[in-house]
Amino acid sequence: MGTETESMRGNIVLSGFMGCGKSTIGRRLAAALGMKFVDMDRYIEEKAGLKVREIFEQYGEAHFRALETETVRALAAGEDCVVATGGGTLMRPENVEAFHAGGGTIYFLDVPLAALQERLKNDKRRPLLQVPDRRAVIERLLNERRPQYLKSADVVVDAGAPTVVVVRRLCALRGVELPKRTAPPQQSGPEKEKRRRKRRRRKRPAPPQENS
């Protein structure tokens, strides 16, 4: 677990498009920095007793956006934590202002369009993506939103890399060096041979059954 410097106070706010890794990266980053982690979608779901999809279906998107703003205000005023925003949260300038006013730093996790389309191709959870022309919707929304992600961000992070790499980058930006993971010990000769034989045995087809 690392120790941040004094100047690194305030919420760490992760922003970016759906599928950019805000939740996975946020959880790992919080663990590495010894901070609390809040996923805004899960927080809203717990408070409302409904899934995000159900909130959209039963009350509409505008209601969900109002719940987001309420949540941003509460988080900005609370104890420092790593916050995974929803992909649409920072489209509202008042949400950006509230995070900044609370001393938070906004990190935009920038992932290329093609990678987002691939990561989101089987999604069943996000209401905005339950459409027949999903790839086109992702492209349109990203083009609309990217300028605002860039404008609201204090730091833009290239987040197309594997999670562990992005977490390491974010830690470094907070002045914390994560220890490099040591390589697993090499298997010795006889051990290696034993495993190879076992694998071969598993692959061998079963002998034909005799008819009785």
Binding-site ranges for ligand S3P (CB under 6 A): 18, 22, 41, 52, 86-88, 126-128
Residue 142 Cβ vs ligand S3P, minimum distance, rounded to whole Å = 10
Residue 88 Cβ vs ligand S3P, minimum distance, rounded to whole Å = 3
Residue 52 or 170: the one with the smaller Cβ distance to ligand S3P is 52
Residue 23 Cβ vs ligand S3P, minimum distance, rounded to whole Å = 6
Residue 105 or 148: the one with the smaller Cβ distance to ligand S3P is 148
Residue 2 or 146: the one with the smaller Cβ distance to ligand S3P is 146
DSSP string, the chain: -----GGG-S-EEEE-STTSSHHHHHHHHHHHHT-EEEEHHHHHHHHHTS-HHHHHHHH-HHHHHHHHHHHHHHHHHSS-EEEE--TTGGGSHHHHHHHHHTT-EEEEEE--HHHHHHHTTT--S-GGG-STTHHHHHHHHHHHHHHHHHHH-SEEEE--S-HHHHHHHHHHHTT-PPPPPPPPPPPPHHHHHHHHHHHHHHHSPPPPPPP-
Residue 2 or 127: the one with the smaller Cβ distance to ligand S3P is 127
